[in-house]
Structure 1
Amino acid sequence: MRKLILLVLLLTFALTGRSQLEVGIFGGGSYYMGDLNPNIPFLQTSAAYGLLARYNISSRWAAKLNLYQGSLNGDDDRSGFLPERNLSFKNDITELGLNFEFHFLPYFNGSMKSYVTPYIFSGVALLYHNPQLDNKDLKDYGTEGQNNTSELTKLSGEDVTRDNYSNFVLSIPFGIGVKYSFSQRIAASLEWGMRKTFFDYLDDVSTTYYLEANLDPADSEYENQEYSDPNRNHDPWMQRGNSSTTDWYSFAGITLTYYIDLRNKNRCSDFEDN
């Protein structure tokens, strides 16, 4: 995480050597869609915040570097999708993203004419995530038999291996927004963006169960069962999640930015006549 923050700071300092730079803050919410919430946007939205730097390439294009933090939450009881499964999670996330924005209208900071525009954006992001329950890392419990080759092999009679997942994930952000320049220096935007991942464990749920429902409390795997099948009403190889679909997450909120025009430091008017 320290390396991600350092990278953002270095890139920000590099951009300050050019004109047309905005730096600012983000505040809003984050939410998730996946095996525990397949179709309800904004369900269990949590607070999100972050930093950003935007380089205005032209009146139509801008590039934005962001470091956002938020939380993803899922609960079978809240979504009503599979309440008998009784799974839930919380995943605190950090995203480092680079996006390109296209303005539908010409846009200039400080302009008296071109001071507002809707826009779309897309890019690439690196996500750090760590699904938890009761402040315990679910990854460590191998809830679907990850890194538990002996148990999987015993149940299937064949050599079966499920590798554990990574805490770092690539995603493809895309979304819409509208930005407004209040003055020569201050601008704001309202935006909503989805993130497409190629990953199915933001919620620690993807494939099948691997433990007996009536596992003996003395068994070494009993604690794993608490997190894999809390209701103890499933048998090995019964479906736990849908591995044919991947998880999504979203950030939505408001940005407030300060415009740094390094080309002309002597401007004093509130608005340019553009």
Structure 2
Amino acid sequence: MKIERSVGVSLFVMSLFIMIPTADIRAQEYKYEIGGAAGTSFYMGDANKTQFYLHPGLSGGFLFRYNPNFLWSIKTGIFIANVSGKSDDSGNAFPYAQQASFQRTLAELGTQVEFNFFPYSDKYAYLGTRPYTPYLFTGAGVTYAEGNKKFIGANIPVGMGFKYKLKNRMNIGIEFSMRKLFGDDFDVTEKTTGWNLDNPFSIEGSFLKNKDWYSFTMIFLTWEFSMREDPCHGN
């Protein structure tokens, strides 16, 4: 009985490996991508709890990708953006009917891991690859923002995107992301000790509550380089 059970477990494990598509362990033709991105940005926090693209700003930057295989990528980028907010159109009722506004120019350096829904390539069709794919990503970064009260802190990006191969070695795509910060003073640009947007309700915060966010929506264009060595053909 024990032998039959062991054989059954072994067959089940083997079937799982057989079901895993081989494309996820095959390498991309080129290892790296480099390119630029541009788009819009907005802020969410005490002066904007729910509205996407309220007071949109401009965003842009440069990105670098390493593609270990068809399904996964590691992306590093540096971006600059403008964000702003006003308490009088936030939909919140603030203590003593106080009003405040802010504007920031931020710089971000971060790294993200991307997962492609489809094996991504314009070659190797026999492996089920496609020249387009939606993808999800997350990672970590550091945000620095100018203002009378400077801001620097970690962020966690969470987002989705879509990319398409225009032709060999050239990719275009669009992605949307939210960047979660670990403080409530991103929307504070004044050094005053009076009322401002730094926790105006005096409520103790937590990881998910009373923290600021900002968002990017960007179109990117990248170029692939550094052909991977092919041990079968000596390339």
Q: TM class by shorter-chain length?
A: 0.7 to 0.9
Report 1:1-274 matches (<5 A).
19-82=30-93, 84-108=97-121, 114-130=130-146, 132=147, 137=148, 139=149, 167-204=151-188, 224=192, 228-229=194-195, 239-240=200-201, 242-244=203-205, 245-263=210-228
Percent of residue pairs identical? 32
The offset of 1:71, in angstroms, is 1.2
Q: Aligned partners of 2:200, 2:36: CA distance in 1, in Å? A: 42
Give ranges in structure 2 of 5+ residues lacking alignment.
1-28, 230-235
CA RMSD of aligned residues (A): 2.6
C-alpha change, 1:197 and 1:239, in structure 2 (3 Å) is: closer
Q: Aligned partners of 2:200, 2:169: CA distance in 1, in Å? A: 55
Instruction: Report the count of equivalent residues.
Output: 189
C-alpha change, 1:77 and 1:109, in structure 2 (3 Å) is: farther
C-alpha change, 1:99 and 1:82, in structure 2 (3 Å) is: same
Residue 12 of structure 1: aligned partner: none
C-alpha change, 1:192 and 1:239, in structure 2 (3 Å) is: closer
Give ranges in structure 1 of 5+ residues lacking alignment.
1-17, 140-165, 206-222, 231-237, 265-274
The offset of 1:179, in angstroms, is 0.5
Q: Aligned partners of 2:119, 2:30: CA distance in 1, in Å? A: 18
The offset of 1:19, in angstroms, is 4.6
Q: Aligned partners of 1:202, 1:77: CA distance in 2, in Å? A: 18
Secondary structure at the counterpart of residue 77 of structure 1:
helix
Counterpart residue type for residue 45 of structure 1? P
TM-score w.r.t. length of structure 1:
0.63
Bigger mean CA deviation after superposition, 178-187 or 243-252 = 243-252
Q: Aligned partners of 1:178, 1:258: CA distance in 2, in Å? A: 16
Counterpart residue type for residue 254 of structure 1? I
Instruction: Flag as ranges the 4+ runs of structure 1 deviating above 6 A.
Output: none
Contact 1:200 1:243 in 2 (8 A): no
The offset of 1:239, in angstroms, is 4.5
Q: Aligned partners of 2:35, 2:192: CA distance in 1, in Å? A: 43
Secondary structure at the counterpart of residue 20 of structure 1:
strand
Contact 1:110 1:183 in 2 (8 A): no
Counterpart residue type for residue 181 of structure 2? T
Q: Aligned partners of 2:222, 2:112: CA distance in 1, in Å? A: 16
C-alpha change, 1:114 and 1:261, in structure 2 (3 Å) is: farther
Q: Deviations over 1:194-227 (max 9, x none)?
A: 111111111029xxxxxxxxxxxxxxxxx947xx
The offset of 1:95, in angstroms, is 0.5
Counterpart residue type for residue 83 of structure 2? L
Q: Deviations over 1:81-115 (max 9, x none)?
A: 24732100001100001000000000025677510
Q: Aligned partners of 2:122, 2:85: CA distance in 1, in Å? A: 40
Structure with a larger share of its residues in strand: 2
